[in-house]
Structure 1
């Protein structure tokens, strides 16, 4: 939370209408509520966020979000990524010192994970970014799935590399060394985010189609927090049905 050093942590949910696989996804009804509302309500349970907002370019999302009393920041429709959308939204949040970028399609996200990311960023003024990762068994088929992003870290937990390829390559078995599946939630120091969006897409970023590689290629420090939060995202209507089933069981 805010303190005498001026730390002010804001959670932002970027939301756009035009998904190629699932147009209108943020407003898709799950158990009678828009998807984005489920995420918002999870975030409201956090204790380390000083403010929360939805950043969108679409009046339909704005209207629906305001109906459940969310703060909405309208942004340009021309942003290539959610990160760029969040950077513009910061213009309406001059007090924000740190930002947590919360994916608007993870309705079961653990509030404790968001709080942990916020706390890690606030505790280390030298840290540029923080993110999270789930340990996988090296034998899990997901290790070879290019849609599952893997990350390897230094001994202190800082990210060394992210890839769609199996990472690391186990030429030798190493007891206790998991594969880490990257979870797409990020926290940033404000000044770093404002600089990050001015950099052009980097070579490795373009090769792997992974925006976080731009940060590493420019020398940024990214702390990776291991988590047991394996909450699924929603990329298709079929996945939305699965989330509805999980909510009914909870």
Structure 2
């Protein structure tokens, strides 16, 4: 089973423009992320996929592998699908470009899902973590996922799901952590499908996979991630690097 990591890397960012090219301990954020993915030794290959000449040249100059996006894409899945279309791979893991402190164990768990899936029943794997605080549960920026008894995704929502009509019921709420592993064919299929009503309503691309019958295996983790979305996040990352 050939497994690669793909790191989508857009130059533009609403909250923190050019964040991936910021200095983090003598190297750019995107270079730190690329090297961290390589150093996990989980992947047969690692690629940065970008729409930016600057980011492309940065990775190549560091001896890394980069792919330029040709088209404009509305979702991460579309961008990755274009990048891997001509690559002979089985499983593609989406690594977040703004998270240089990669949690190797979580990525290994996602890859293990496909190694154990001898009947090829799973199309995607992703992460979730239990949440208990009311403000975390009610925050629409925290996407919730509902799973079946095998931890396969039934639905994703920005709303509070399930709704607690019976206050005495015992329910565990799970927050979706947006790190994915895909079978290549699932990505190719996604890129050909039109957006459906649930995805349009929630603005969650993973719903397109469910609406077209793809099976998403969720893996429970304690990992939250250290994303760099603001200058303050970058300063915290610098402090972490110096510890």
Would the TM-score normalized by the shorter structure come out above 0.5? yes
Structure 2 gap ranges (5+):
none
Q: TM-score by structure 1 length? A: 0.90
CA contact (8 A) 2:144 2:159 kept: yes
Asked if structure 1 preserves the Cα contact closer than 8 Å seen for 2:78 and 2:187, the reply is: no
TM-score, L = length of structure 2: 0.93
Whether 1:193 aligns to 2:210 is: no
Partner of 1:128: 123
Tell me the residue number matched to 1:57: 51
Q: 1:219 aligns with which of 213, 217, 226?
A: 213
State the shift of 1:140 in Å: 4.0
Matching residue within 214, 233, 236 for 1:239: 233
Listed as ranges, the matches of 1:1-250 within 5 Å are 7-93=1-87, 95-124=88-117, 125-137=120-132, 139-171=133-165, 172-175=167-170, 177-249=171-243
Query: Structure 1: 5+ residue runs without aligned partners?
Result: 1-6
Query: How many angstroms does 1:195 deviate by?
Result: 0.5
- The alpha-carbon distance between structure 1 residues 68 and 216, as it changes in their structure 2 partners (threshold 3 A), is same
Moved segments of 4+, more than 4 Å: none
Whole-Å Cα distance in 1 between the matches of residues 161 and 233 of structure 2? 26
- 8 Å contact kept, 1:26–1:34: yes
- Secondary structure of the 2:98 match is coil
Contact 2:99 2:228 in 1 (8 A): yes
CA drift at 1:237:
1.8
Provide the residue aligned with 1:3 in structure 2: none
Q: CA deviation at 1:11?
A: 0.6
Q: CA deviation at 1:52?
A: 0.8
- Cα RMSD for the two superposed structures: 1.6
Partners of 1:174 and 1:23 in 2: how far apart? 45
1:127-152, Cα deviation, whole Å (9 max, x unpaired): 11100011111x34111111111111
Closer, same or farther: CA 47–123 of 1 in aligned 2, 3 Å:
farther
Distance in 1 of aligned mates of 2:59 and 2:44: 19
Q: CA deviation at 1:92?
A: 4.3
